[in-house]
Structures are given as C-alpha cells and as structure tokens.
Amino acid sequence: MSNLVTKLLPVLFYLAFSDTVLSLRSVPGSAQCIKVVQLRGGASPQAATTNGVPMPKSASGRDLQGTAFTKIVYKKISGEIHKSVEVVGSWSRFKTRNAMTKNKDGDFEIIIELPRGQHEMKFVVDGTEWRCHPGMETTTDSQGNMNNVIFVDNIPGAKQTERKFMTSDGVYVASKDSLEIARDVVSRLEQERQVAQEKLAKAHSQFIDTLKSELNSGLVALNKSKLAVNAFQEQGNKGLVTIKAAGEAKITEIRTHMEKIRDILDQKEKIAIKAVTENMQQRIAVLEKEIARYGVVGPELQELIDDTNKALQSSSTDSTAFANKANALVSKIETVTSKAAALTPPTDDADFEHLQLNLLPPQN
C-alpha cells in the first residue's frame, strides 16, 4: 500500500492543481451514484492488456490505455439496511470482490483504480446477494445477465458530458465535482499514507523490540551455553590429568607384571633346557652302547661270511680239507649268529614331545 501511495501522490497532487487534465464522467441516469476521475497518460501505446486481461475499448472502438481512479457510490435505498456491500466487475472477470466503506450518509463507496473503457459490474450485498443498483445504468451481457455499467475514459467523445470552463463573458467556472473527487482521492491516500506510516513506525518499533528481546534471550542462552562449555572444559582438563595418571599407572603395573613373567619364563627356560639336555645325554649314551655292540658283531659276521665263501670255493679240489674247514665254520657260525640274534634294535626314536618336564623352580 505504501508503494502505491508513494507512486500515485505526485500524479494526484498534479491533478489537484491542474484543471486541464481532470474531467468528470457521469453515467446517464446515475449522476448521484458514480463519479469517475480520469488521469491522462498511463500505459505506453504498445500496452494492449492489463495482467493478461484485454484492455477495454471506448465507444469508438479504440483501445484505451492506462488507468483512472474511479469513485463508485452505492446509494442507500429507502427501507433497506445492509451490513456490507462489495463491488465486483468485468475488470477482474467478476472474480475479485472489493469491499466498500460506509460513509456518514449511510451510502457505501469505494475509490478504485480501473482500466479505461466500459466495464460491467454488480454489487454483493451482505456477502450473499448479487444485485444491480436500480439507480445506475444497466446492460445485458451475452448470457442474459443484467449488470450495471461504468465507463472510464479521459478522451472527449459523444457520450461524454461536456464541461464548460468559463462563461461567455470569460468568468472561470470551477468543476466542483471533479475537484471534490480529486481532493477526496488525495485525502484518502494521504490518510492511508499516514496510517501506513504509523503502522510502519509501530511495526518498526515492534521489530526493534522483538530483535532486542530475541538478542536478550539469545544472550541468556549464550551465557548458559558458555557456562556449560566452561564446565565441560574444566571437567575435560581434569579428565586429561586423571586419564594420564591412570594410564601411566597401568603401564607401570603392566611393565612390573611382565618383568615378573619374564623372570619366571627365564627360570622355566633354564629348567626346561637343563632337563632336555640331561635326557638327551642319557639317551645318547644308551644309543652309543647299542651302536658299539652292533660294531662288534658286525665285523665277526663279515669275517665268517668271507671264510664260508672261500671254503665253498675249495670244496671241489680237496674234500678232506673242506670237511675239516666246514666243521669249524659251522660251530663259529652258530656262535656268531647267536650273538646277532641276541641284539635288539635301537630303543630311541628321537621323540622329545612326550618328555615330561617339571618346570617348577626348586623350592628353597
């Protein structure tokens, strides 16, 4: 609203002091009901639509560009009392209801900016009843609906009421209706601007108060958070000291324990090595004795084998000598083979896995 007021005020002030750009349009038969203030200029010549809606045309069929402030008055009808009146028209395809304000005379009125040209409209009474005002010009649309008519144009034409600016003797004649409408528009927009400025000032003050309140609340939250963070930091610093001390104590405990374990392992290692060494030496001694016996019988067996072969070779040449030699060899073979039969295989298989070790240190 404030942007609209700021935009329109220069134009309205210009209108208030220039009788060359202000004219009054009265629809025939409704002089007491509708007054229109037209503004010259407006949109560029290329503009043919307003918000996607085709611009209305004048009575001559020419496109009318720009907009005009139009004052629409719903005159009080005798015997009727209404709580609200709204106006809706072809400028919004009969979709937007514009609320009218009740004045001191009991009439409902509105100043609305409309595209130039002819428009059809209806009034919505008390929010439900759509009706035409009996004191305004009416027309019937293509679907048979009866609507009131309003024509907004600042181009002089056959339908427009001519305005005389001076008498025949040169005395200026003021357009009281036009000036009244222009002053009303300016007054209303001034009031809206003042209200908007007051609301803006109040909103700005409320905004500042809200910001202060939010910042104060934020400051409380920040201080609370800071206290919590400080407490966490203090707790964390204490935790660092505690963790470091506990960790170092545990490391010392582990090292002491491992030193004890290493001492025990060293003792067990010595005991185990000693036991295996002694067992090995014993088993080696037994095996060496067995090997020594094998070393005695083996050569005797070989000697008898050689002598027996020689005797067999000489058996064909001298039978008497062979018989004597053979008798002696048979006795020796019996004796030596008896020794060999008495021998046992080695008793050790070099297995230390089943060696029973007593790893307990000796008791003092």
Instruction: Report pLDDT digits (tens) over 216-252.
Output: 999 899 999 989 999 999 999 999 999 999 999 999 9
Mean per-residue pLDDT, 336-358: 79
State pLDDT tens for residues 82-114: 999 999 999 999 999 999 999 999 999 998 889
Say whether pLDDT at 168 is over 90: no
Range 21-52 burial, b when 16+ CB lie within 10 A, else e: ebbbbbbeebeebbbbbbbbebbeeeeeebee
Between CA 73 and CA 110 the distance in angstroms is: 7
Q: Is the pLDDT of residue 152 over 90?
A: no
Instruction: Please name which of 118, 123, 146, 144 lies closest in space to residue 133, comparing C-alpha atoms.
Output: 123
Residue with tokens 């439900």: 128
* CA–CA gap between residue 173 and residue 163 (Å, rounded): 9
| Phi, psi for residue 111 in degrees, rounded to 5 | -105, 120
Backbone angles phi, psi at 308, to 5 degrees: -65, -40
Q: Helix 176-314 vs helix 319-342: angle between axes, to the nearest 10 degrees?
A: 140
Assessment of whether the complete model's pTM goes beyond 0.85? no
**What is the model's pLDDT at position 121?**
97
For 338, the token pair is: 């008896």
% of residues, the chain, pLDDT over 70: 72
The pLDDT, as a whole number, for residue 153 is 66
Q: Compute the mean pLDDT over every residue in the chain, rounded to the nearest whole number.
A: 77
263, burial (CB in 10 Å: exposed 0-12, middle 13-18, buried 19+): exposed
The arithmetic mean of pLDDT across residues 128-132, rounded, is 96
- Per-residue pLDDT, averaged over 323-340, amounts to 86
Question: Please, which pLDDT band fits residue 77 given cuts at 50, 70 and 90?
Answer: very high
Residue 195: pLDDT band with limits 50, 70, 90:
confident
